[in-house]
Amino acid sequence: MKHISRQESPDSFEKWKARNRSAHWGEFGNEKNHTVEIKREVKEKLLSQQNNLCGYCEVAVQLDDSHIEHLKDRNNYPREMFDYDNFIASCQYTDSCGHYKGTGYFSGIVSPFDNNCEQRFTYTGNGKIIPVDENDSDALNTIEVLGLNCKRLKDRRVSIIKTLELADNDFVSQYLSNCEDWLGGFYTVVKYMQK
């Protein structure tokens, strides 16, 4: 899980929130109330902050194959519904990440906003993501809640690991700086392969 450094919320979004304090998520991004462009701006900013990687699994995503995910789900945390610091750009897959998590948020979930999130996970040669500390139950539960060991993700990671196994550090460093374009994402998997 790659760390995400949070930036300021788009000004247009904050102004819209101030004028629409009783709004519901379903109304946001609606052509009737002219918020399509504001929602698009929010998602573009999230994607930019995340280097066009899903905030959970790190697969490369673009505007049309991602969604605005709520770390704390809207059903159980309605006050966080329009909190920009609760937003993550997530992939659209249903076997992992935001759609898979649904209402599975728990207080100890490892978030990409946590400064040490990258140090809490590592990978195995068979593509599994595992906690660095085998006793880190929050990291283990995060993997489960987000479906980060689904077959699709494990297969993609194995492919990257095999591609980089015999590579020297300079080559891996090049892959690291181009992981979005060359490998379709997976920044921390490439980082794991640095010797």
pLDDT digits (tens, 9 = 90+) for 30-41: 877 778 999 999
Q: Is the dihedral of CA 80, 86, 92, 95 positive or negative?
A: negative
Backbone φ and ψ of 185, nearest 5°: 110, -145
CB 74, CB 97: distance < 8 Å: no
The model's pTM is 0.92
C-alpha span between 159 and 152 (Å, rounded): 11
pLDDT reported for residue 163:
85
Please report, for the chain, the start and end positions of each structural domain, with discontinuous segments joined by +. 11-192
pLDDT digits (tens, 9 = 90+) for 64-100: 999 999 999 999 999 999 999 999 999 999 999 999 9
pLDDT digits (tens, 9 = 90+) for 111-146: 999 999 999 999 999 999 999 999 999 999 999 999
Residues 6+ apart with CB under 8 A from 158: 125, 126, 127
In 3D, which of 125, 129, 119 has the Cα closest to residue 149?
A: 129
